[in-house]
Structure 1
């Protein structure tokens, strides 16, 4: 019978690093987007191996670098079913990941099965990758103890990614050693039963159902007046009643919110007219957004001015969709004029849209086509939000004498 202090058998890691891969910053980005996670994993594994005095052939940790789209590889499945400690790499991107939610569910099921067989143990040891508001933590994480201050002030403020990118090597080493000590203590006392293949294959996302993934739906319907000469039947008393696919369809705000909920987002409907200060600010994103633009805004001087300001901003986490109802004879008759004015107000946005087939009258000629386009746009702005909202290197002091070299970098010997 194995005791808790025994090293794990060959091929069965001490800990399993659960992380969500970093998306590339564009089709021309050929670098390894997960090089910082890999460097952190290698250092943590080395410290765990030293602290636990593992045999040379023992695997301290496991990180899945393959990420098969068809499920887990056999090696990943074995590691997750047999590891002693589960180390989730906390970040907004992590909690938004179905795969990470399933990995959490698989290991947590092992913990639940072990209660009653052995004394309850804390075998889930979180690590903070980037600072993440507590409001974004799913309910599944509530039973797990997490105190970022225990690993140092720099770690609490910046997370491991921030410490690495700002070059705080001493703080980095202290935080890695503290985390490794927690992993070893948990591994030496944990008696988590191995998982079964059946439970492994049937695992569901433990993070589903928690309303933290917000999406802002920004409506920009035109304001009717005597100069617009627009049929009022497509508009109601409020902007949320705007219905460009009238008759026979629901208002666009209602349709878009239902679709967003099906995509597991919590939608918030606002208007460009009432929320211009927020939409047109240069601040970091609070959530991804979709600007749903009425073609007849081309005849609304106030909206046109705001669209020009929006076009000058670098906000890839907000995308534009223009619903062109091909059954609306009034819109079809005015299409050339409306397109010309919109192109003048949004030259960069509409060019980008055509290059990627996201913004086109042909893509939104019916409400069904609008829905398909909206799905693609929501996916894109969600990814852009994760890049720009959580993955920027945090501002901080650059100390060249203590600079931590990134993967593949040469030593910086410059003097401060």
Structure 2
């Protein structure tokens, strides 16, 4: 019997199936971000080839290089999942939000796994790898229950993940070490277990193995912006809607409210986000000394032109609440933003003087982070850090420890 690839069912089986979340391009002209996963796949395949006696021409691994839907695509995935010897999920926040990755995990684990050695770890046939650090994310139950240690892969790998080790030249030797250790673990697990060839399943009909994490932690996201009737004459209505929470500063290419991206980031970190207009939160922010949840405020700098409403923002800013993180998304590609940047910077300096003052680099912020994301991709990274800052301060308050003043953010560098 032949599968979708033309190989017979009795032919050599690939050592591993690399399961990863496809990362979308930032724009149509950008480099394919999945290029780096492809490089990892090639390096891992070469390492396995070096430490085994796989005959030339036999498959080493499988990686889905396309995002094409359809019957042939689904049949190919099902065939590889039914035949591979080891399943290698590439952990990232995006991975555990991917329905396709959850289906791959589920399909692989429908196969029986038998241990050759009684001393081996509980057999699963799964060898996870860290694409990025997952320290601040809750793993789904199926992942958290795996008995797997990354210690032998190196401290920098555990702290940063493979993506950082690939991108930063000073980590080149650490990357080589991590890839070799991962290849050895794949081969060891393949040798220690017997996973009979399975029956290819109807891929699209499979459920995801990733149940939503328990949202035990909340985060409040508020938006200070305009709705369409409030806009000043200098500002186009294309980025605004009927509600102030409809603000879309990175349009195009993003055509959905920014707060939806913010909520997605928070959910990916294991939080339960709620979305509010700033005006609905203002009284609490002005009068409460003990917060009920960490908060993130998204500020549309254009809306600071409304002196009556911006006075409330100024008063909140002067309170310097540690559990409130402030972000000022700013689209570098927006011509109106560029044309009026100096004026809006000056207004922002006046209203957000506490937020913008000082040069001290907060301990939870990465080098080069400004709090003023200039693209949607930058915004998602800044949102993660904003949630972490607010959550850390909130936990300190809840545990009765002194809460430091909110960290000062560097001056706008966009």
Interval containing the TM-score (normalised by the shorter chain):
0.5 to 0.7
The one of 379, 382, 385 equivalent to 2:380 is 385
CA distance 1:294–1:173, change in 2 (3 Å): closer
| Aligned match of 1:179 | 182
| Aligned match of 2:160 | 158
CA distance 1:9–1:150, change in 2 (3 Å): farther
CA distance 1:134–1:106, change in 2 (3 Å): farther
Task: Please tell me whether the aligned partners of residues 18 and 100 of structure 1 are also in contact (alpha carbons under 8 angstroms).
Answer: yes
| Aligned match of 1:133 | 135
Measured on the aligned residues, the alpha-carbon RMSD in Å equals: 4.8
Residue 38 of structure 2 is aligned to residue 32 of structure 1: no
| Aligned match of 1:45 | 45
CA distance 1:82–1:383, change in 2 (3 Å): farther
Task: Please tell me whether the aligned partners of residues 304 and 345 of structure 1 are also in contact (alpha carbons under 8 angstroms).
Answer: no
Shift of residue 108 of structure 1?
A: 1.7
Larger-gyration structure (1/2):
1
| Aligned match of 1:313 | 328
CA distance 1:35–1:307, change in 2 (3 Å): farther
CA distance 1:289–1:151, change in 2 (3 Å): farther
Select the structure with the greater relative contact order (CA < 8 A; seq sep ≥ 6). Answer: 1
Shift of residue 159 of structure 1?
A: 1.1
Task: Please tell me whether the aligned partners of residues 15 and 85 of structure 2 are also in contact (alpha carbons under 8 angstroms).
Answer: yes
CA distance 1:385–1:312, change in 2 (3 Å): closer
Residue 201 of structure 2 is aligned to residue 195 of structure 1: no
C-alpha distance in structure 2 between counterparts of 1:387 and 1:16, whole Å: 32
C-alpha distance in structure 1 between counterparts of 2:117 and 2:212, whole Å: 31
C-alpha distance in structure 2 between counterparts of 1:185 and 1:312, whole Å: 47
- 2:18 is paired with a residue whose SS is strand
| Aligned match of 1:100 | 101
CA distance 1:303–1:289, change in 2 (3 Å): closer
| Aligned match of 1:372 | none
Moved more, 180-189 or 302-311: 302-311
Aligned residues: 281
Shift of residue 23 of structure 1?
A: 2.0
| Aligned match of 2:338 | none
Shift of residue 47 of structure 1?
A: 0.7
Moved more, 65-74 or 120-129: 65-74
C-alpha distance in structure 2 between counterparts of 1:60 and 1:200, whole Å: 22
- 2:109 is paired with a residue whose SS is helix
| Aligned match of 2:90 | 89
Task: Please tell me whether the aligned partners of residues 19 and 88 of structure 1 are also in contact (alpha carbons under 8 angstroms).
Answer: yes
CA deviation vs aligned residue, 1:246-279 (integer Å, no higher than 9, x gap): xxxxxxxxxx99xx79x97722356563569xxx
The one of 269, 274, 277 equivalent to 1:268 is 274
- 2:198 is paired with a residue whose SS is coil
CA distance 1:311–1:148, change in 2 (3 Å): closer
Return 5+ residue gaps in structure 1 as ranges: 1-7, 223-242, 245-255, 277-285, 317-343, 348-379, 391-416
CA distance 1:131–1:174, change in 2 (3 Å): same
CA distance 1:313–1:267, change in 2 (3 Å): closer
